Chains A and B, each alone.
Chain A
């Protein structure tokens, strides 16, 4: 290796150092502490810290609590991601036209981006609360029924994320040159065929990004669950994150840490799998 390349490598390392420091301080070190915490067991007062090794990982990750939490989380993801994507695409397609006053609709559709989970969840709770909500007695997403409560939370989550999906899909649609759309019209494509054969493939990079991000949002969802159902009824909406949150008393800290590491692992693997599967079907234009 000549001296110039050595010098360039050193420069590169020096320039990467600040972001590496941030990652180490706020990601890698906490993750390491989490793993260490998972290898220990505390008593109910938090005064002892006994090393138990990987047995706690095995017990927790194969135990009913984590598995039921994971199953609820997966259901939550399956309820929120496809519906959120489809609604976002439909809204963006509908709003992607040159009409007088269309900007007002753009603002309305994108508005949930600017409101916090707490705000949207409280609004939604008011709408579907079994006692006072206007839609409180709709059986399909009734919050008082353990079989349907997750749907109510999922709806709130879909609404919460709709603004983001709408903005990203609309931006992708607007990046498609007019002439491509016009060529499709002249080629005889109807609206549905054009959407399926031309539009969706051309915005596929944005759709892949949204899928990965929305799945991660689903795995991490907490605020809406805490506010709307508090994990109930009968634990029916206790996702993994909610169970981690519930493990705050000293005796449960080790178990909570293991679940957190487990959730990280699941999210990481699912994201990798999505990238591997979707990447092949995504077209990055010229």
Chain B
């Protein structure tokens, strides 16, 4: 049954946008989330991305109802949920530690959200408590989809990390909530399993057709799974957009440097207008900028940003000295010094090996140069 969860029907579906309007959360004097305006669309896979302590988990906990909201309005679907108890919000959460009940079997863990609440039953108008055999049916159906059928009688302690993670997912899915909240659910898995689970989660999102709000600090997870990203830093929303948007047009230097690995090169420079054309003078040579706009005034201090893959060796106008070379199989990272700033070049490994200490020139296509205000760090266009 493509496009729907195992056992669900069209009538089960509910509109489930999550809308933040000026939401702020303070813990004492610390502002964890500052004036957040964000709309997570119905059935969207939204990833909240940011470094440790940026407030992303607090955002998730406010949606879950585990943390109160200091000010602002939070809506799920068409109702304001600021004062709605967690259990009445119709959302479910996968915790970083999975938070499985260690004394209960896999079956009982998955069954637990079905016991205390009224559920919609196909062909019946009003929700009601499920009979034990109906619960068992739903648990078995979910276990089947997630490959847990053989493990239902086991205790969590007898499961591998990946299996526990799937049990946590099953427990979140079984009650057919309006939205799934996930707090770094892959961070306890090894690299190989993580890559595999990313694909499975993206697939699950398609099948369940439900809103996912997913927190991570791992940009690979964010870029590969998200419909859209919301990037947070120190409690403030920095940018919202598709992974492509955010990568190609970062709104400020923080986003530019946070997304992408190795991070975008950032070199301080001064704007020079020469015969009506804008240039950035780095102190080690100048580089042509894409277009002259009102934002670029002669003599203005800026930071120019270029992705490592957009910097070319021996084809430029800027002097550099090679500091180190990292060979990574198909590609190579060349670290060089440009007027006291380290610039990384990412290039195909078949090119000639540069030697540390070698003097080279670097350059790039003006179309790939991002310009940021040195003071505000905002993008200039």
Contact = CB atoms under 8 A, between A and B. Distances in A.
| A pairs with B | yes
Contact of B99 (A179, A189, A201): A179
Interface in A258-286: 283, 285-286
A183 B95 contact: yes
Contact of A283 (B65, B103, B115): B103
Given A198-B101, A201-B103, A185 B156 contact: no
Interface in B80-99: 86-87, 91-93, 95-97, 99
The range of chain A's interface size is: 20 to 34
Nearest to A181: B99
A182 interface: yes
A188 B95 CA distance: 16
The range of chain B's interface size is: 20 to 34
B116 A182 contact: no
A193 B102 CA distance: 17
B322 interface: no
A178 to B, nearest CB: 9
B93 A186 contact: yes
A187 interface: yes
B99 A183 contact: yes
Contacts, number: 65
Contacts of A63: none
A285 B99 contact: no
Contact of A187 (B65, B66, B112, B155): B112
Contact of A179 (B95, B115, B116, B156): B95
B117 interface: yes
A179 B65 CA distance: 13
Given A177-B97, A198-B101, A190 B116 contact: yes
**Majority DSSP secondary structure for residues of A touching B:** helix
Given A185-B66, A187-B112, A188-B117, A177 B99 contact: yes
Given A185-B66, A186-B64, A187-B113, A202 B102 contact: yes
Contacts of A185: 65-66, 86-87
Given A186-B86, A188-B117, A286 B93 contact: no
Contacts of A183: 93, 95, 99-101, 171
Contacts of B86: 185-186
Nearest to A282: B103
Contacts of B99: 177, 179-180, 182-183
Interface string B96-125: 110111110000000011011100000000
A179 B95 CA distance: 7
A285 B66 CA distance: 25
B101 A180 contact: yes
Contacts of A201: 103
A276 to B, nearest CB: 20
Interface string A2-41: 0000000000000000000000000000000000000000
Nearest to A179: B99
Which are the 9 A-B pairs with shortest beta-carbon distances? A286-B157, A179-B99, A283-B103, A188-B116, A183-B99, A188-B87, A187-B113, A201-B103, A188-B117
Interface of B: 64-66, 86-87, 91-93, 95-97, 99-103, 112-113, 115-117, 155-157, 171, 175
23 contacts: A177-B97, A177-B99, A179-B95, A179-B97, A179-B99, A180-B102, A183-B95, A183-B171, A184-B101, A185-B87, A186-B66, A186-B87, A186-B92, A186-B93, A186-B113, A187-B87, A188-B87, A188-B113, A189-B87, A189-B112, A201-B103, A202-B102, A202-B103
Interface of A: 177, 179-180, 182-190, 193, 198, 201-202, 204, 283, 285-286
Given A186-B86, A186-B91, A285-B102, 16 more contacts: A177-B97, A179-B96, A179-B97, A179-B99, A182-B99, A186-B64, A186-B65, A186-B87, A186-B113, A187-B112, A187-B113, A188-B117, A189-B112, A189-B116, A286-B155, A286-B157
